[in-house]
Amino acid sequence: MSGQRENRIDLLRGLSLLLIFIGHAEFTFSQTFQQSRGFSDASEIFVLLAGMSSALAYYRPDMGLQMERPWRRALRLYFTHLMLFVFMAMVSSLVLAVFHEAVWDGAMSEFWQNPLLRGIQAISLLFMPGNLDILPMYVLLLLLAPFVFVLHDRSRIALLAVCGAVWLLAGLGHVNFPNVALADRSWYFDPLSWQLIFVIGICLGIRLKRGETVLPYTRPLFIAAAVFAVAAIPANLAVHFAPIDGTTGNLLHQMVSKTNEGPLRIINVLAILYLAWNTGWVKKASNHPSMRLLCIAGRHSLAIFASGLLLAFCVMVLMKVVPGISLAAQLLLLVGCCAIQLAIGQWLEARKQAGSSQRPSATLIGDAGAIGAKSG
């Protein structure tokens, strides 16, 4: 196992966290910004990198079924999710009482009509208003991780075949878990579909941990990935904002479905990662002092994700109760909230360094941090 630092994971993860915040905050430009990056967005990059980091943190060759560390991490994510739910429920209820504005599209109104039942459903992951079924998806993926490691040691091809079959059947059959807080009564991120991205990340992470070439460079593949990634930007904007109806429209929307992780999204995120991994300036940027705060944010991804979700929720509330906020003010909010997240990351890193001078300040192969892996 190599001991070299691999800062690209932290850099890309830190960047994806800030992009996720922008999408969640519901600025007037958030939707257009979200769809102007191709078929996939920061969520796919983040799940892919979480899979890689989980392999780096928890995988040991031929170790058998070892569940303690990833399941302990999954439990931590679960309790973080519950704390986020409590905070956001309290704030949204206060806004509903004072301003008569439903921040979660009526989900909290439904919650307070029967708080005991909805509370039990929230604890059981059956009641999750918008943006709150992300961490639960990671909980399930981490519970799955030990079994993925075991199957990988027996046959990587069999592992990918099984996960690919589950993804295909879940997508075609719209098989999903129930979530009574959303209009379609199902999880926005279907774990049965998103597990494929996570498992691909695990396979890449195991290659990295073994010191193998993760994504071998070939010029034709690099050009093809670049062409696809660039062409996906206007194509995705057309799918989401141009009126495409009928059979063609339904097929296209299924191909880019976020809930069922459509195939164009998977191809797009793999193309983006391939380009980033094989572009020299990305590696140079990941080791440059100017990118240090982004790398640190990526390293402390759970705390940054949670704080970003809370900040995005506060921005969402502000946009609801104070309509007509100017673009300049929105941009100022964006910069300020991103700065807060980076500052939180720096504070956590300083605490970690003070607690143990032996701990590295960037992702190490074999000791990575992620929402899907251990972090300080």
Domain that holds residue 81: 7-355
Name every residue whose Cβ is closer than 8 Å to that of residue 6 and which is 6 or more positions away in sequence: 208, 362, 363, 364, 365, 368
Structural domains in the chain (count): 1
CA distances from 177 to 109, 277, 282 (A): 22, 34, 38
Q: What one-character DSSP code corresponds to residue 291?
A: G
Asked whether the predicted pLDDT for residue 367 surpasses 60, the reply is no
Query: Residue 259 pLDDT > 90, yes or no?
Result: yes
pLDDT attached to residue 172: 92
Mean pLDDT of the chain: 88
Provide the pLDDT for residue 81.
Answer: 95
Residue 35 domain flag: yes
The residue assigned the tokens 């519950």 is 82
Q: What pLDDT is recorded for position 248?
A: 74
Higher pLDDT, 204 or 317: 204
Domain presence at residue 129: yes
Are 94 and 112 spatial neighbours (Cβ–Cβ below 8 Å)? no
pLDDT over 80 (residue 242): no
Residue 371 lies in a domain: no
Asked if the model's pLDDT at residue 371 lies above 90, the reply is: no
CB 331 within 8 A of CB 109: no
Q: Would the pLDDT of 66 be above 60?
A: yes
Across 201-221, average pLDDT: 94
| C-alpha dihedral, 264 to 269 to 270 to 275, nearest 10° | 130
In three-state secondary structure terms, 72 is helix
Q: What per-residue confidence (pLDDT) applies to 320?
A: 84
Task: Measure the CA angle with vertex 261, ends 312 and 263; round to 5°.
Answer: 135
Q: pTM for the complete prediction?
A: 0.90
Within-domain flag for 2: no
Look at residue 203 in the predicted model and tell me its pLDDT: 97
Overall average pLDDT of the 137-150 stretch: 96
pLDDT of residue 321: 86
| Main-chain phi, psi angles of 36, to 5 degrees | -95, 20
Distance CA(204)–CA(40), nearest Å, equals 19
Inside any domain, residue 240: yes
- Residue 350, domain member (yes or no): yes
Q: What is the mean pLDDT of residues 100-105?
A: 71
According to the model, what pLDDT value does residue 303 have? 95
369 located within any domain: no
Q: For residue 263, is pLDDT > 90?
A: yes
| 251 or 274, which is more confident | 274
Task: Tell me: pLDDT of 369 over 60.
Answer: no
Higher pLDDT, 244 or 29: 29
Q: What is the pLDDT of residue 103?
A: 73
Q: Is the model's pLDDT at 71 over the cut of 70?
A: yes
User: Which residue intervals of the chain are DSSP H helices?
Assistant: 7-25, 30-35, 42-58, 68-99, 107-113, 115-123, 134-154, 156-173, 191-209, 219-241, 246-255, 263-277, 280-286, 292-299, 301-321, 327-355
Give the separation between CA 37 and CA 34, rounded to whole angstroms. 7
Residue 332 belongs to some domain of the structure = yes
pLDDT band with cut points at 50, 70 and 90 for residue 197: very high
In this structure, of 29-33, 281-285, 370-374, the range with the lowest mean pLDDT score is: 370-374
The confidence score (pLDDT) of residue 95 equals: 83
